[in-house]
Amino acid sequence: MLYPPHDTGPVPFRDHPGEEFLFVHHGQAELLFPARSLTLGPGDSAYFKATTPHKVRSLGTERAAVLLLVCDDRDRAETPHPHLP
């Protein structure tokens, strides 16, 4: 779970290999990209390539509760958890 701050201030946009899925469990969040932003409420989700620079912040009076799933799609010779499919 991610509880993003209200003010992203000097926090830079992040990008990395893989894909991301965000699901807003509680509150409101804003998913920011350099050229666009999305406002997400409870039950809303977003799925995107993580190579796109991005950051997220809470909107409203309380911090949002956001489920964040990251899939790293880099090719690896061996997996860090070989017991998982």
**Rounded CA separation 36/79 (Å):** 35
- Among 8-22, 49-63, 65-79, whose mean pLDDT is lowest? 65-79
Instruction: Give the pair of three-digit tokens for residue 55.
Output: 């950051």
- The pLDDT, as a whole number, for residue 70 is 94
pTM score: 0.81
For 33-68, the pLDDT digits (tens) are 999 999 999 999 999 999 999 999 999 999 999 999
pLDDT averaged over the chain? 89
The percent of residues in the chain predicted with pLDDT above 70, rounded, is 85
Closest C-alpha among 21, 28, 52 to residue 42: 28
